[in-house]
Structure 1
């Protein structure tokens, strides 16, 4: 298969695409892939590092307020569609996949105009602007949450789940808590606010540490690389006991996750895919700084199935964090019940399902 992929801006659009590409190459080593992104997005670093052919086009998003900049956006979109058409003609893909972000809008629209089979993948429960626009032109639409189904033309929609889930579920790990100086036999909670860290989460953990010091369970707290020194300064006058490990970033997250008793973190699409694939009880703290508040809706999908607890950021502080942590970490039966509920929501064959949808789009176009 010759596959063109486009998606960028955030890791939530990029990592599902990389997981799909990895699985596709496992199934068919002759697969050829071209990834189209922007020079400013995270994909500019992440995709080439994965040894995937990468090209860029220039594009930007619309301002939500009246702005002369939007005229430039229109110009760039039209130019990017022209550039994308040339890439499609040169690469001659069998099918083109879009995973979100402004760049995928131009690439998928260009491919559709050239009558090349097209598929979009929506990771969140609330449909993004780009995928909503593209839904009128593409052949197939893959979703990760049932809540997204009625936001698209119903006859095009297939539930596939998020390819990241299959990638994480298939990871073989021999990780031990001993590597961090912790007790292998004690339940361990991971607190992680994203690669850059989340200020409110970090502040709440700092406030909670005097109480966490007294607990029999263990905590691994990833502050985010940018905020590690700030957290250390805040903790200069606070004792941190041996049951707590603080790191700027977890580089081996896929290997660590299967050992985690409870995870505390954001409710982005990639995180949800990992949590449900592995069946990890979670305390979700949705980011309030995302479009259409979609992380709250992502989290609510798990809460409704009794697979997670949720603390909204306006309710988050040291006291509420300790209370939620104690509820789960001191009740093994509840953790087991939540883990089962989370795993039932996970779609561990999600990459395979999306690959089948790509093949369907290709075959229907023959």
Structure 2
């Protein structure tokens, strides 16, 4: 039995591709054991529960991080490694990866990496020369990395869920087949500014014959729904803290209003869903805007900068894109490609 340690967490953007790849590997191999390392009490500790073995390390949130926190985490990771004796690490970025990568380099464990965004994060960029190989979601990323083994795999999404029949998804989710469905998501943690603007135009959208599936964010939900009229619900507005079956929601929808995380964009491209992208303005290296720009250049929607966001601008874009159809892109199944690369490496070590 081979042990592979996946390192992912912090946000859904790092975690979901890792989970999707891990599921694929477990469904297509018999001699692989996948273990996750992430942050104690982070989103990963909740989403990985009962799915994969998980080891949490004592790192605070990024904004609270101090240099000595890495020292403590380094020794925690060292104990985990000594216990598990992994054959390989797969790193998905974020500061959570740093103590694991330092251990991997120090103890000479092999590791591969996956970069979700167009512009690679600092961790991926700094450690990329030492990796056995790096998988990238967008071809444009290659020029930013120093490694001879860079593979364009695309992002790791559940392809089979993004090609389900649209009508069956609408039925299963309980939406009206005779109305258009608008999906609104600010990412796994929600987006306060998007929620505030959307809230002001919901009556208008309902009168325009839209139904709305709105992921508010778990930390924002209770405050947001305090003054929501029941009439909105009866007319087809459905707010929720978190959408568990996001792939089905994407397939059921006719248009999305969304942040511009790499995994979300890749899901939209795969499913053929146009979107109004409102990139997170404080993302490092402005990577959400650059992610969205790739989708827009392919004809999959438009961008509104958060500084330009208003009720009138948003309604204008919904009207502009509400009846447009886009064809799903023929994208690679990144899970299959990357697992093939990892498997070849493991077999070559025999």
One fold, TM greater than 0.5? yes
Q: 1:184 is matched with which residue?
A: 177
Q: Which residue of 2 aligns with 1:327?
A: 320
Offset, 1:82: 4.0
- Tell me, yes or no, if the aligned pair for 1:166 and 1:351 is still in contact at 8 Å: no
Q: Give the drift of 1:154.
A: 4.3
For residues 195-210 of structure 1, the aligned pairs below 5 Å read 195-210=188-203
The Cα shift of 1:304 comes to 1.3
Q: Which residue of 1 aligns with 2:307?
A: 314
* 1:55 alignment partner in structure 2: 55
Q: CA separation of 1:257/1:83 partners in 2, compared to 1, >3 Å: closer, same or farther?
A: same
- The correspondence for 1:148, drawn from 141, 145, 155, is 141
**Count of aligned pairs between the two proteins:** 347
| Residue 209 (structure 1) shift | 2.5
CA gap of 1:328–1:24, structure 2 versus 1, over 3 A, is same
Which residue, out of 340, 345, 350, partners 1:356? 340
Instruction: Give the equivalent residue in structure 2 for 1:163.
Output: 156
**8 Å contact kept, 1:165–1:273:** no
Q: 1:363 deviation in Å? A: 4.7
1:213 is paired with a residue whose SS is helix
Deviating beyond 6 angstroms after TM superposition, the runs of 4 or more aligned structure 1 residues are 170-173
Q: Give 1:3 shift.
A: 0.9
Give the Å deviation of 1:179: 5.2
* Of 296-305 and 183-192, the range deviating more from structure 2: 183-192
Cα distance per residue 1:209-236 (max 9 Å; x no partner):
2422331343333333443454445555
Secondary structure of 2:187 counterpart: coil
> Per the alignment, in what secondary structure is the counterpart of residue 28 of structure 1?
coil
- RMSD over equivalenced CA pairs, Å: 2.8
> For the structure 1 residues 33 and 178, does the alpha-carbon distance in structure 2 shift closer, same or farther, using more than 3 Å as the test?
closer
Between the aligned partners of 1:111 and 1:167, the Cα distance in structure 2 is: 34
Q: How far apart are 1:76 and its partner, in Å? A: 3.7
Distance 1:355 1:192, change over 3 A: same
Residues 48 and 97 of structure 1, relative CA distance in 2, 3 Å threshold: same
Aligned residue number for residue 36 of structure 1: 37
User: Could you tell me how far apart the structure 1 residues matched to 2:233 and 2:45 are?
Assistant: 41
Q: Secondary structure at the match of 1:5?
A: strand
TM-score by length of 2: 0.88
Query: Does structure 2 retain, via aligned residues, the 8 Å contact 1:38–1:57?
Result: yes
CA contact (8 A) 2:91 2:112 kept: yes
Matched ranges for 1:239-318 at <5 A: 240=232, 243-249=235-241, 250-318=243-311
**1:223 and 2:209 correspond:** no
Pair 1:228–1:86, CA change in 2 (3 A): closer
Which residue matches 1:109?
102
Q: CA deviation at 1:150?
A: 1.1
CA contact (8 A) 1:206 1:318 kept: no
* RCO comparison, higher one (Cα < 8 Å, 6+): 1
1:120 aligns to what SS in structure 2?
A: strand
Query: TM-score scaled by structure 1?
Result: 0.84
- Name 1:123's counterpart in structure 2: 116
Decide whether aligned partners of structure 1 residues 28 and 114 sit closer, same or farther in structure 2, where only a CA change above 3 A counts.
same
Structure 2 unaligned regions, length at least 5: none
Residues 111, 131 of structure 2: 8 Å contact kept? yes
Note the C-alpha offset of 1:143.
0.8
Provide the secondary structure at the position in 2 that maps to 1:93.
coil
Q: Give 1:307 shift.
A: 1.6
CA distance in 1, matches of 2:85, 2:233: 59
Distance 1:269 1:221, change over 3 A: same
Aligned to 1:66: none
Q: CA deviation at 1:61?
A: 7.7
In the TM superposition, what is the alpha-carbon distance from 1:30 to its structure 2 partner? 3.2
1:115 positional shift: 2.9
Instruction: Write the distance in 2 (CA, Å) between the matches of 1:311 and 1:204.
Output: 13
